[in-house]
A and B are shown apart, each in its own frame.
Chain A
Amino acid sequence: METSYINHENWLTHLYLSVFPAVAAHIKAKGGTLDDARDVFQDALVIYYEKVIAGKVVIEYSEKAYLLGIARHLWYHRQQKQKGRVSEDMLDYERLIEEEHSLPSAKRLLRYLETAGQKCMDMLQAFYYDKVSMREIAERFNLSGERSATVQKHKCLEKVREKVKEKSLTYEDFCL
């Protein structure tokens, strides 16, 4: 898969080195394995990215405390789930992590869109997922300014929407 325009390597490496040992120690103490610790940390990083980095939520505590908190929370609820106990507030987190496994045709659609509209997908992802500003999007995509980037983004939204619509009719299990 094509890598994103934003390269997260530096901050990810920094977080692994500074926070993963504490997460691993916690999970080990709570009966988990190294693979469990890796899984939980990966999911915690995704949540952290979406809420704090892209979501621009200001955190009250240190980055380490926050990330460790998410990981502890994830592990606790994962264990509850294994024991057959699911608590309500966890459902959102789980959905967040699991939804990508539940839509096989969504994966096919994404693969199709990589060939049929990659540039548009890059732009939509930069704006909606990575929350990059319009000014920066204009620069990255060689557009004359924010206004033209906004117009282009809407065109892409329409183009991708029509492709998804067209293809979805053949992928029956893609549910909206």
Chain B
Amino acid sequence: MKTSASEIRLIDNYIQKQLSPADQLVFEANLLLCPELAETLRWQQAVHQLVKMRGRQQLKAQIKQVEQTLFTEVKHQTFREKIYKLFKRDL
């Protein structure tokens, strides 16, 4: 379904909790009256969920990359030794 720009904005503002209490009530009433709007809302929420997942995946990949550098590069040897010393009995 093709939606108008203003509807996309309205749904987005609802998801981001940026509507005034009055507008939010009107929007929620519309959700009950219009199943198509409710469906569009669900898909738009799915996009947000996916965007968040993607953001986390990329952040975690960067964290792992930094960790890898710190645990392998020569210049971070002091850091590594400090950590390994803590867990000496485990190794």
Of the candidates B12, B54, B64, B86, the one whose C-beta lies within 8 Å of that of A24 is: B86
Kindly provide the distance from the CB of B44 to the nearest chain A CB, expressed in whole angstroms.
5
Kindly provide the distance from the CB of B66 to the nearest chain A CB, expressed in whole angstroms.
4
Of the candidates B64, B82, B83, the one whose C-beta lies within 8 Å of that of A42 is: B64
The chain B residues found within 8 Å of chain A, CB to CB, are: 2-3, 5, 8-9, 12, 40, 42-67, 69-70, 76, 79, 82-84, 86-87, 90-91
B57-A176 in contact (CB<8A): no
Kindly provide the distance from the CB of A143 to the nearest chain B CB, expressed in whole angstroms.
16
Q: How far is the CA of A20 from the CA of B63 in the complex (A)?
A: 12
A128-B51 in contact (CB<8A): yes
Of the candidates B3, B45, B60, the one whose C-beta lies within 8 Å of that of A46 is: B60
B5-A151 in contact (CB<8A): yes
Given A34-B83, A128-B48, A174-B46, 4 more A-B residue pairs with CB atoms under 8 Å apart are: A1-B58, A17-B79, A24-B83, A113-B50
A16-B66 in contact (CB<8A): yes
Kindly provide the distance from the CB of A50 to the nearest chain B CB, expressed in whole angstroms.
8
Of the candidates B5, B62, B64, the one whose C-beta lies within 8 Å of that of A4 is: B62
Q: Which of A7-39 contact B (CB under 8 A)?
A: 7-9, 12-13, 16-17, 20-21, 24-25, 28, 33-34, 37-38
Asked, given contacts A12-B62, A13-B70, A16-B66, whether A154 binds B51 with beta carbons under 8 Å apart, the answer is: no
A100-B66 in contact (CB<8A): no
A49-B59 in contact (CB<8A): yes
Kindly provide the distance from the CB of B68 to the nearest chain A CB, expressed in whole angstroms.
11
Q: Give the contact-size bracket for chain A.
A: 35 or more
Q: How far is the CA of A34 from the CA of B47 in the complex (A)?
A: 36
A129-B51 in contact (CB<8A): yes
Asked, given contacts A16-B66, A42-B64, A109-B50, whether A8 binds B57 with beta carbons under 8 Å apart, the answer is: no
Determine if A160 is an interface residue (Cβ-Cβ < 8 Å): yes
Chain B residue numbers with a CB within 8 Å of A17 are 70, 76, 79
Of the candidates A110, A130, A161, the one whose C-beta lies within 8 Å of that of B53 is: A110
Of the candidates A124, A151, A164, the one whose C-beta lies within 8 Å of that of B46 is: A164
